[in-house]
Amino acid sequence: MKSEPDATVPGQGYHFKTFSGVFLPSILTILGVVMFMRLGTIVGELGVFGAFCILLFAESIAVATGLSISAISTNTPVRSGGPYFLISRSLGPGFGASIGLTYYVSQSLSVPFYVIGFTEAFVTVFPSFSGAALWVGLVPLSILFGIAMIGADWAIRTQFAIMMILALSIVAIAGGAIGSGPELGRLQSALCATGGREINILVLATSFAVFFPAVTGFLAGVNMSGDLENARKSIPRGTMLAIGVGFLIYVSEILLFASAWDRNLLIENTYGTLVKSAVFHTGFLVFAGMAAATLSSALGTLIGAPRILQAFAADGIFKPLNCFAKGRGQTNDPILAMCLTLVISVGILFWGSRQSGGGTALNAVAELVTMFTLFTYAIINIAAAVEHFAANPSFRPKFRFFHWMVGCYGAIACFVAAVFINALLLLVAFAVVGTLFLIARRQSLVSTFGDARRGYYFERIRRNLIQLASMPSDAKNWRPQILILAGPDKKHLPLIEYGSLLNNGRGIMSVARFLAAGNDRAEAEQRRRQEEEQLRTLSRESDTPFFPVVVATEDDVDFDSALNIFLQSHSLGPLAPNIVLSGWPVKKERVEAFFQRLLTIRTLRMNALLLINPERAASDPGSGPIDIWWRGRRNGSLMLILAHLLTCNRQWHKTPIRLLRLASPEDRVDAESELSRLAEDSRIEVQHIVLSQESNFDSAFRAYSSRASLIFLGFIPPRHEEFQSFYERITSQLEGMPATFLAASAGDTDLDS
Q: How confident is the model at residue 245 (pLDDT cuts 50, 70, 90)?
A: very high
Residue 556's pLDDT is what?
58
Average pLDDT over residues 546-569: 78
Residue 587's pLDDT is what?
82
Bridge partners (DSSP) of residue 514 are: 551
Per-residue pLDDT tens digits for 599-627: 888 888 889 999 998 888 888 888 899 99
Burial letters for 270-283: b for 16+ Cβ neighbours within 10 Å, e otherwise?
bbebbbebbbeebb
> What is the reported pTM?
0.75
Average pLDDT over residues 671-680: 83
Q: What angle do CA 748, 751, 753 make, to 5 degrees?
A: 80
Do 527 and 518 meet the contact criterion of CB atoms below 8 Å apart? no
Q: Is the pLDDT of residue 249 over 90?
A: yes
C-alpha–C-alpha distance, residues 696 and 688, integer Å: 19
Give Cβ neighbours of residue 109 (< 8 Å, ≥ 6 apart). Answer: 344, 348, 365, 366, 368, 369
Q: How confident is the model at residue 11 (pLDDT cuts 50, 70, 90)?
A: very low
Q: What percentage of the chain reaches a pLDDT higher than 70? A: 90
Residue 291's pLDDT is what?
86
Residue 445's pLDDT is what?
37
Residue 132's pLDDT is what?
86
Helix, strand, coil content of the chain in percent (nearest 5): 65, 10, 25
C-alpha–C-alpha distance, residues 577 and 588, integer Å: 28
Q: Is the pLDDT of residue 444 over 70?
A: no
The mean pLDDT value of the chain amounts to: 82
Identify the weakest region by mean pLDDT among 140-154, 190-204, 468-482, 645-659: 190-204
Average pLDDT over residues 130-145: 88
Q: What are the distances in angstroms from CA 423 to CA 107, 418, 434, 657? A: 21, 7, 16, 52
Average pLDDT over residues 719-728: 89
Average pLDDT over residues 171-181: 85
Q: Is the pLDDT of residue 360 over 80?
A: no
| Of 256, 224, 230, nearest in space to 81 by CA | 224
Q: How confident is the model at residue 342 (pLDDT cuts 50, 70, 90)?
A: very high
Q: Is the pLDDT of residue 413 over 90?
A: yes
Per-residue pLDDT tens digits for 30-88: 887 788 878 888 888 888 888 898 999 999 999 999 999 998 888 877 787 778 888 87
Per-residue pLDDT tens digits for 696-717: 788 888 888 999 999 999 998 8
Q: Is the pLDDT of residue 684 over 90?
A: no
Residue 597's pLDDT is what?
86
Q: How confident is the model at residue 516 (pLDDT cuts 50, 70, 90)?
A: confident
Q: Is the pLDDT of residue 572 over 80?
A: no
Q: Is the pLDDT of residue 262 over 80?
A: yes
Residue 470's pLDDT is what?
77
Identify the weakest region by mean pLDDT among 189-193, 280-284, 421-425, 666-670: 189-193
Average pLDDT over residues 146-164: 87
Do 190 and 48 meet the contact criterion of CB atoms below 8 Å apart? yes
Q: Is the pLDDT of residue 3 over 50?
A: no
Burial letters for 171-186: b for 16+ Cβ neighbours within 10 Å, e otherwise?
ebbbbbbeebebeeee
Q: How confident is the model at residue 738 (pLDDT cuts 50, 70, 90)?
A: very high
Q: Is the pLDDT of residue 9 over 50?
A: no
Q: Is the pLDDT of residue 358 over 50?
A: no
C-alpha–C-alpha distance, residues 359 and 106, integer Å: 18
Residue 520's pLDDT is what?
76
